[in-house]
Amino acid sequence: MSDLLSRPLLALARALGEREITARDLLEEAIANHERHDAALNAYLLWTPSRARKAADAADAAFAAGRSTGPLQGVPISIKDLFAAEGLPTFAGSNRRLPPEWEVDGPVVHNLRRQLGVITGKTHMVEFAFGGTGQNHHWGAPRNPWDAKAHRSSGGSSSGAGVSLMEGSALLALGSDTAGSVRIPAAATGTVGIKVTLGRWSAATPMSAHVSVATLV
């Protein structure tokens, strides 16, 4: 990971707001990291660099106009395949695309977009979030970045979330956690996983019941 993306998230947010760096700078570093590592790590079900570049440019335009849309403005963020997002298919780790209502922004994704956060894509997960090892027979399991030789578990069910952070393609990763599905991947990959108090963030359908966030140390 580059020195730029290794900086604390709060420091990056401050640098973005003061226009010391641009959202496009961050994103291009994230894209380069993904292109360097994804063939081995398999973090994403859907990687969307073109969409992300447009979002980063929108965030930079808002910064240039003196507009602050929120603390995640311009920050590269991956989202678990369990989250509904406009224009992106949702499989929930299964081999079948979910109905159209799962392609409409849920409240958390809507708030990310409102803040002009930069969504990098949808990360792999255990089928229907039922499992803690990260295995998926339909899409393959993301590889734990800490072992270049053996294919070790990245944890689950938010398996791709922790891997996306460690490969440096996202600075924030949305996952879900009912019984450890964020905390287990965080422990396995060496990131920080937080299960927020139920009700603190909206869990309105079509979103999972418990929403959490994993961030870099």
pLDDT in tens, 137-149: 999 999 999 998 9
Specify the pLDDT at position 209: 37
Annotated catalytic, 94?
no
Q: Report yes or no on 146 lying in a domain.
A: yes
1 within a domain of the structure (yes/no)? no
Give the contacts of 150 (CB within 8 A, at least 6 positions apart): none
> What's the structural domain count of the chain?
1
Is 184 part of any domain? yes
Across the chain, what does the average pLDDT equal? 91
> Which among 78, 153, 154, 157 is annotated as catalytic?
157
Kindly indicate the confidence band of residue 204, based on its pLDDT and cuts at 50, 70 and 90. confident
In a domain, 3, yes or no: no
Its domain, for residue 89, covers 9-215
Residue 190: inside a domain, yes or no?
Answer: yes
- Name the active-site residue from 176, 181, 208, 212: 181
d(CA 124, CA 157): 9
Sheet arrangement for strand 172-176: 44-47, 118-123, 76-80, 172-176, 211-215, 192-195
Q: In this structure, what CATH number is given to the domain that contains residue 178? A: 3.90.1300.10
Report whether pLDDT(161) > 60. Answer: yes
- What span, in angstroms and rounded, lies between the C-alpha atoms of 65 and 74? 14
| Greatest extent of the chain over all pairs of C-alpha atoms, in Å | 49
**pTM score, two decimals?**
0.91
User: Which band of pLDDT confidence, cut at 50, 70 and 90, is reported for residue 2?
Assistant: low
Q: What's the confidence (pLDDT) of residue 1?
A: 54
Angle at 85 between CA 69 and CA 112, to 5 degrees: 15
195 a catalytic residue? no
What is the spatial distance between Cα 4 and Cα 45, in angstroms, rounded to a whole number? 26
Q: Is residue 50 situated within a structural domain?
A: yes
Angle, vertex CA 108, rays to CA 177 and CA 16, nearest 5 = 110
Residue 105: inside a domain, yes or no?
yes
Q: For the segment 9-52, what is each residue's pLDDT rounded down to a tens digit? A: 999 999 999 999 999 999 999 999 999 999 999 999 999 999 99
For residues 86-90, give the mean pLDDT.
95
Pairwise CA distance, residues 70 & 199, whole Å:
21
| Residue 185, domain member (yes or no) | yes
